[in-house]
Amino acid sequence: MSEAQAGPTSGPVALVGSGEFLAGMEAIEAALLAGRAPRAVFLPTASAPEGPDRVDYWLRLGTEHYGRLGVAPVPLAVLDRRDADDPANAEAVAGAGLVYLSGGNPGYLADALRGTAVLSAILAAWRAGAALAGCSAGACALTAVAGDTRTGAIRPGLAVVPELVVLPHFDRIEGWQPGVVDRRLADLAPGQILVGVDEETALIGGEDGWRVDGRRKVWIIDRHGKRRPHPAGAVLALPPLAEGYNSVAPKK
């Protein structure tokens, strides 16, 4: 079993298009935390290249957000690989009911966490039943591809969900990055699926498969560029989240 693969008790994975720590997403996170420890560990790692003010913004917003949900907030200021290999930061992840990766630069986030003590702790918490969520950059980093917004380079993601490549902010992204859908399609490896997740929307995988939650839609884009929309409540025919759920191991 590879480092990112899950076992039978692993928690859900939520790939969120936008809206981390905002009121419109509270119901989704409350559902992710239901039946789990009321403790949310959140990492602003993807925003580190934007400077300390932006990092502080995410830490403050997350702390206030989880306080409103009645959940113990655990802000974890992991900003680089040195922080990600700090044993104290890794220990802080233990006992989480939810681990959340917020937005910024997907490629930076994946490179900062890959192969570190903090990532191992996050995956251990997830395998033990914690929910694992990523919003925008965080969503990309959990899948196969995490583009670097500074350079435009395609970086490998952490491959917790190795069959998927995600485009967050899908209802707006082509206005910011013209042609990004065609570029991602051209770069797909065999067996990978391109998924667009609109803002304030989540694609959530668990033992019952993949479903859509939130205000807008999730889109499956086939290799010819055809887009199929799926509204809230839809169940999607995507590869199973983990071998423990369906006895089918993710592709390596």
pLDDT over 60 at 249, yes or no: no
Strand order in the sheet with 217-221: 164-167, 193-197, 217-221, 227-231
Q: Give the residue with greater pLDDT, 225 vs 90.
A: 90
**Which pLDDT band holds residue 84 (cuts at 50, 70, 90)?**
very high
Q: Could you give the CA distance from residue 37 to residue 40 in angstroms, rounded to a whole number?
A: 8
| DSSP bridge partners of 100 | 42, 133
In the chain, the amino acid numbered 187 is D
SS3 category, 241: coil
Domain over 13-246 is classified CATH 3.40.50.880: yes
**Which pLDDT band holds residue 242 (cuts at 50, 70, 90)?**
low
What pLDDT is stored for residue 4 in this prediction?
Answer: 57
At 148-206, the pLDDT tens digits run 888 878 889 999 999 999 999 999 988 888 888 888 888 888 989 999 999 999 999 99
Q: Where are the domains of the chain?
A: 13-246
